[in-house]
Each structure stands twice: as structure tokens, then as C-alpha cells.
Amino acid sequence: MAKTALQFRHNGRDVAIFVDGGTNLLVALREGIGDMTPKFGCGQGGCGACSVLIDGELHLSCLTLAETVAGRSVETLDGIKDGPNLHPLQRAFAENFAAQCGYCTPGMLMAAKALLDRNPSPSRAEVVEAISGNICRCTGYEPIINAVLAAASGGRARA
């Protein structure tokens, strides 16, 4: 099958891969680049486990054609740490017991980051709205909502 060359920014670094026609961004990231942080949950845009940011905007990588990110910037959970230091959201998730099996966590964190990037002090309702496309089958969501709120107020305290 004919391959298409694809260049984009991945977590701040330029990358170039070849993809088959029709390959989705989730497969391109996992198999082309080796970034295993976005997860396959449904392949239908139903669960949010594959969520990534494209030019800062939240997208489902399983429903995104890989070729459409040419020249754009893709951010995954692999890129949100600052060197060895956890992102405030990662710290808040850990401290608030917001992960059990951990499979939805990468997508959940990206959805939360998209929210806090545009709204640093969201209300509880806004947090619920922001993660409403991400399914978690373990926690019952409360610890996740609390974690996002804690990260947001932590950010406010530093500001």
C-alpha cells in the first residue's frame, strides 16, 4: 500500500513518519512514533481514552486522520511533564486517588489540561462538562473531578 510522508510536531519535537492511507492519528502515534500514552478504548469516539491536543485543542485521535495533522502540533500525556517534574494535574490526580486501573487516565488528563489551559479556575460544573467525553469505569468520576479542581485552585494559589 502506498505510504504518505507525514511531518508534525509531537510534544515540541519535529517528527516524520510514513503512514498508510486511512491511518488514524492514534495508530500513527502508537505504532509510528512509539508514544503509547494515548490508549485504544473503542475506536469509535465513544470513550475518550485516545484524547490528545492538536494545536492546543482537544481531539479524539482515533477519529482523526493522521494526514490531517501535517505541520500541526500534537500534544499527548507523554509531553506534559516538565522534565522529571509532574505537571500540577498529574500531581493532583495522584494525590486525589483519581486513577484506579489507569487506562482512561491519559485521555482524562488531556481533557483536563485542555480545560485548564483555556479556563484556569473552572467551576465544578465546567469540570464535569470538560471530562464528559471521557469514560472511566473504575472511579465513579468524583476523585477525578476533585483532582481537576485541586489542580485549578493550586494554580490560582501560585498566581
* Cα 109 to Cα 96: distance, rounded to the nearest angstrom: 13
| Interacting positions 47-86 with other proteins (CB under 8 A) | 47, 49, 76-78, 81, 86
Is 128 or 135 the residue whose CB approaches other proteins more closely? 135
Q: Are 61 and 29 in contact (CB under 8 A)?
A: yes
Q: Does 143 bind other proteins (CB under 8 A)?
A: no
Q: Does 112 bind other proteins (CB under 8 A)?
A: no
Q: Does 12 bind other proteins (CB under 8 A)?
A: no
Q: Does 16 bind other proteins (CB under 8 A)?
A: no
Is 101 or 123 the residue whose CB approaches other proteins more closely? 101
Among 6, 10, 41, 152, binds other proteins (CB under 8 A): 41
- Give the residue from 80, 33, 41 showing the smallest Cα distance to 63: 41
Smallest distance, Å, CB 102 to other proteins? 3
Enter the DSSP assignment of 34: -
Is 66 or 99 the residue whose CB approaches other proteins more closely? 99
Which spans in the chain are helix H? 25-27, 88-95, 105-118, 124-130, 142-158
* Cα 71 to Cα 134: distance, rounded to the nearest angstrom: 27
Residue found by looking up cell 491519559 in the block: 106
| Residue type at position 57 | E
The grid coordinates listed for 111 are 481533557
Is 64 or 105 the residue whose CB approaches other proteins more closely? 105
Q: Residue numbers of the site for other proteins (CB under 8 A)? A: 20, 30-31, 34, 36-37, 39-44, 46-47, 49, 76-78, 81, 86, 90-91, 93-94, 97, 99, 101-106, 109, 135-138
